[in-house]
Chains A and B, each alone.
Chain A
Amino acid sequence: MAPIVSVSNLVKTYGSGFQALKGVSLDIAEGEILALLGPNGAGKTTLISIICGIVNPSSGTVLVNGHDVVKDFRATRSIIGLVPQELTTDQFETVWNTVSFSRGLHGKKANPAHIEKVLRDLSLWDKKDNMLRELSGGMKRRVLIAKALSHEPRILFLDEPTAGVDVNLRKDMWKVVQALREDGVTIILTTHYIEEAEEIADRVGVINGGEILLIEEKSALMKTLGRKQLRIELAEPVTALPPGLEPYQLKLEDGGGRLIYDYDASGGRTGITTLLAAVAESGLRIKDISTRQSTLEDIFVELVEKRA
């Protein structure tokens, strides 16, 4: 199936001469949830802004549903919904008006029933006649989501949707995201929170310094880059490793009470069996054993550090 969003060799140089994107290429499949991870200033917002038509690209092309975002902007923008990173709202408008306005901008006829559904899903219904300045930050964020959903987009961009958002709203938000996904909506979100990407994304892209470092299925990513750790708790702490354990490059932790063994879980031979035999042979008594899967966070830190 042709990708719903196809970015190729995208470069953006801002007026100041700063190159925010250095030739980004990326395909997004219809219906998937893609998380873009990257530190501050990586270029996430710039990338989204170009796809949505807010910023002109310097070179390269972006196709959305087969249409060029610059030449054929009507076709592309009418199927995209965007929740921006910044909380920008018309302070003196009511929730209902501002959400209806967004629908009009996208060329759709008024549809009060749809707007009502969106507001109810986001627990905003009882606030519909309030002015935006009377709402809390979290509620304003919901309003921005409601605006983005007002015109029934097929692609939804969420630029750091959970910044400054409490646990409840986050849960609500993921519920909405899941429902959208079941309707076949493609969702692209940016985040700094790795747990978030791990929790809901199908694929994860890592972007830094205007370049995509990696983009992969989340599960494959975890598998290929996923290191595991074996932790052995000792009954009696040791001051130094017994000679027989040297080949395993163990780390001593917890004042000598714990041995840490890093291994590659995807490899055929993990070395655990021989390690455990060697531990027993050296006369150490094992109190407990646990393993730990490395998280996206570890992977991310590793990737960014490797490039630096």
Chain B
Amino acid sequence: MNVEAVKAIYLFEMARTRRTLLQSVVSPVISTSLYFIVFGAAVGSRIQEIDGVSYGAFITPGLIMLTLLTQCIGNGSFGIYFPKFTGTIYEILSSPISMTEIVLGYVGAAATKGMLVGLIILATASLFVDLSIAHPFVMLVFFVLTAVTFSLFGFLIGIWAKDFEQLNLIPMLVIPPLVFLGGSFYSVSMLPPFWQAVSHANPVLYLISGFRWSFFEISEVSPLVSFGIIIGFLAVLMGVLVWIFRTGYRLRN
């Protein structure tokens, strides 16, 4: 295990965050505050409670997930895409590092950044609403698992992408609708049966549901199912990763 190299990549990536502190921290805080003002105040005045939880509190886990998903995918994909784009990837590829170590460095940094922003959102949210976390440990498990899984997802996108358009395709075009339609801002049980069924095909629903359960013990589906879904997704990504290691796909070809 080349610990020095993992450390070098991790710290290098974290240093990049420090340089773009404003963009990476301040902007999610502002947008979350806006969500609270717009959804919390406007919608919240009509829907007071969902399943006995105040509307503002109800949307908090979904907001954290929205941020976590977009941040982790964004960081994970950019971290590996950028050296590919500038050409500095030559150095990573010619160093005595295994693919596993490369993934540890990049995905570790992306997940750390995502989680930092997620925690900031949590802190911001607690300024607006009363929050209690019923199962802090479960909450942490969902939080970390999601961060790691989606950073890895981002990493794979970064390897696959040939240009900036492809790079942004999934984080910009696929993730937001999934999050918005995944019951971030409402309970899916409020929808007509047909749309309920459609919503259950959305994997993000399971993430939000499980995460929300750890806060309020209310959920659309059993938290175990949520756990199973995220582990399943992680397993699929790992499979793809192993295939990339074997073939050198878009890295060593």
- Answer yes or no: do A and B interact: yes
Which A residues fall within an 8 A CB radius of B? 14-15, 52-56, 73-78, 80, 82, 84, 86, 88-92, 97, 101-109, 147
**Complex alpha-carbon distance, A86 and B88, angstroms:** 10
Q: Is the CB of A107 within 8 A of B4?
A: yes
Quote the shortest CB–CB distance from B29 to chain A (angstroms).
24
Chain B residues contacting A14 (CB-CB under 8 Å) are 253
The 8 lowest CB-CB distance pairs between A and B, nearest first, are: A104-B8, A88-B87, A105-B95, A77-B96, A52-B94, A78-B96, A74-B96, A107-B2
Residues 3-18 of B at the A interface (beta carbon under 8 Å): 3-5, 7-9, 12, 15-16
Chain A residues whose C-beta falls within 8 Å of the C-beta of B96 in the assembled complex: 73-78, 106-107
Quick check: is B136 within 8 A (CB to CB) of the other chain? no
* Main DSSP-derived SS at the A contact region: loop
With both beta carbons as reference points, the residue of chain A lying nearest to B86 in the complex is identified as A88
| Chain B residue with the shortest CB-CB distance to A157 | B94
Taking a contact as CB atoms under 8 Å apart, the answer to whether B4 and A101 are in contact is no
Q: Mark B73-117, 1 if CB is under 8 A from A, else 0.
A: 000000000010011101111111110000000000000000000
Assess whether B248 is in contact with A108, with CB atoms less than 8 Å apart.
no
Contacts of A74 in B (CB 8 A): 2, 96, 98
Given the interface pairs A74-B2, A97-B15, A104-B8, the reply to whether A56 lies near B88 with Cβ below 8 Å is: no
A17 and B178 CA atoms in complex are apart in Å by: 40
Question: Which chain A residues lie closer than 8 Å to B88 at the CB level?
Answer: 88-90
- Is B252's beta carbon under 8 Å from chain A? yes
Q: What are 10 A-B pairs with beta-carbon distances under 8 A?
A: A54-B93, A78-B96, A88-B88, A89-B88, A90-B88, A105-B4, A105-B5, A106-B95, A106-B96, A107-B4
**A86–B87 touching, CB < 8 Å:** yes
Starting from the known contacts A53-B252, A88-B90, A106-B96, 11 additional A-B residue pairs (CB-CB under 8 Å) come to: A15-B253, A54-B90, A56-B248, A73-B96, A74-B96, A77-B95, A82-B94, A86-B87, A105-B95, A107-B3, A109-B4
Nearest CB of chain B from residue A188's CB, rounded to whole Å: 14
Are B91 and A107 in contact (CB-based, < 8 A)?
Answer: no
Q: Quick one: closest A residue to B82, CB to CB? A: A90
Give Cα distance in the complex from A128 to B201, angstroms.
Answer: 54
Cβ contacts B1-44/A at 8 Å (1 or 0 each): 01111011100100110010000000000000000000000000
**Cα-based distance from A82 to B90 in the complex (angstroms):** 9
**B252 engages A56 (CB within 8 Å):** yes
Of B87, B92, B98, the residue contacting A105 (CB under 8 A) is B92
Of the candidates A82, A84, A105, the one whose C-beta lies within 8 Å of that of B8 is: A105
Q: Is the CB of B253 within 8 A of A56?
A: yes
Asked if B4 and A77 sit within 8 Å, CB to CB, the answer is no
A55 partner residues in chain B, CB cutoff 8 A: 252-253
Q: Contact between B9 and A84 (Cβ–Cβ < 8 Å)?
A: no
Minimum distance in angstroms from A98 CB to a CB of chain B = 9
User: Bound complex: CA of A86 vs CA of B87, how far in Å?
Assistant: 8
**Closest Cβ–Cβ distance, residue B215 to chain A (whole Å):** 39
Contact A84:B90 (CB < 8 A) given known A101-B12, A104-B8, A105-B8: yes
- B2 touching A53 by the CB < 8 A rule? no
Contacts of A84 in B (CB 8 A): 87, 90
A108 and B4: CB pair below 8 A? yes
State whether B5 touches A106 (Cβ < 8 A).
yes
Which residue of chain A lies nearest to B20 when distances are taken between CB atoms in the complex?
A92
The 8 Å CB contact of B7, one of A53, A91, A104, is: A104
Inter-chain CA distance A107–B3, complex, in Å, is 7
Cα A53 to Cα B92 in complex, Å, equals 10
Q: Which residue on B lies nearest to A91, using beta carbons? A: B86
Complexed CA–CA distance, A147 and B94 (Å): 12
Q: Which residues of A contact B95 (CB under 8 A)?
A: 77, 105-107
* In the complex, residue of chain A having the shortest beta-carbon distance to the beta carbon of B95: A105
Q: How many Å lie between the Cα of A105 and that of B3 in the bound state?
A: 9
Residues of A within 8 A of B5 (CB): 104-107
User: Which chain A residues border B16 with CB–CB below 8 Å?
Assistant: 92
Within the assembled complex, what's the spacing in Å between the Cα atoms of A267 and B95? 49
Query: Separation in Å of the B94 CB from the closest CB of chain A?
Result: 4
